[in-house]
Structure 1
Amino acid sequence: MSEDGGVRTTSAVDDRRPAYGLGRVLILVYGIFAVAATARATVQLVRAAAEAPLAYGLSAAAGVVYVLATVALAHNGRRMRRLGWAAVGFELVGVLTVGTLSLVRPDLFPHDTVWSRFGSGYGYVPAVLPVLGLGWLWHSSPARVAARAERR
């Protein structure tokens, strides 16, 4: 309460600008992969889910992760940044795990996923994208940006 007995309100205005430059390009690429992976997995699951349930299920999971990462990277809020770190981190672990398993145990993946052989079917973009995503999240961190601005 304020001195005059009224209720004091604080407006939580996020005046940071949204993604810019390369960040927007990164979000665009994530959006393209979100649509591509989700569409591919949907078609695969509808047409022949029994043929390779693990591979097609992983493609669907990758699609969901790409959608979450796209939305999270496009926003500045604290919760969205946390979601971004989680989604992109999960993506990195997924592409490394599935990529390795698809080379070591190809019998587990009779059909390709987005992450098979580290995304070779997509020009290895799925292997590079989470590294770029994590780099962008670090680079655009509000705390880091504010600390850098104070040093100037």
Structure 2
Amino acid sequence: MARQAHSTRTTTAPVSPGPSPDAEAASARPARNEGLGRILVMVYAVFALSASARSLFQILTHFERAPFAYVLSAFAAAVYVVATLSLARRGRRAWAVALAAVLVELVGVVGVGLLTVLDPQLFADATVWSRFGAGYGYVPLVLPVIGLAWLLAHRPRPEEVR
């Protein structure tokens, strides 16, 4: 029988200093669509559904009464749908789309809110964003502010490619 030779030589791997405190803090925070982010997505989903149903009903039943307002309601619904879907996803691209949608929402609710206060005759019927979202308890005015704060606090990490 042949005897096997064992080597007594040991190898040591280079010692890594471990993750930095910043990396540990970043990995400890929940993803953008978890925790409170999930509640934000749900609120956006409710607004996407309600604004879509309202605009569809208005367009189908009495479009001639206020075409501008109803098309604007449909646009607001589309913005809420895009915001909902992009907030629910992970990655840089979804973050950028969500940021754009929430910014469009903020500009829309402030712009339409100002127009409905300064020139109420322009809108023969209310939209989701009329009077800064007064018909919805001003949630349409507060929601994009919360959405922007959440998005800016949850920027994508460098390792998130898509």
Q: Do Structure 1 and Structure 2 share a fold, with TM-score over 0.5?
A: yes
Matched, 1:32 2:49: no
Question: 3-state DSSP class of the match of 1:50?
Answer: helix
For 1:6, the equivalent position in structure 2 comes to none
Aligned-pair identity in percent equals 51
**Which residue does 2:111 correspond to in 1?**
97
The equivalent position to 1:132 in structure 2, one of 146, 155, 158, is 146
Deviations 1:83-136 (A, max 9, x none): 101110000000000000000000001100000000000000000000011111
- Higher gyration radius (CA): 2
TM score, norm. by length of structure 1:
0.82
Residue 62 of structure 2 corresponds to which residue in structure 1? 48
Runs of 4+ in 1 over 6 A off after TM superposition: none
Aligned counterparts of 1:123 and 1:45: Cα–Cα separation in 2: 23
Q: Which amino acid aligns with 2:100?
A: A
Q: Which runs of 5+ in 2 are unaligned?
A: 1-26
Q: Say yes or no: does 1:117 pair with 2:131.
A: yes
List alignment gaps of at least 5 residues for structure 1.
1-14, 147-152
The number of residue pairs the alignment matches comes to: 131
Alpha carbons of 1:105 and 1:77: their partners in 2 closer, same or farther (altered >3 Å)? Answer: same
- Of the three residues 61, 76, 101, the one matched with 2:90 is 76
- Give the alignment's TM-score, normalised by structure 2: 0.77
Match of 2:71 among 20, 33, 57: 57
What value does the CA root-mean-square deviation take over the aligned residues? 1.8
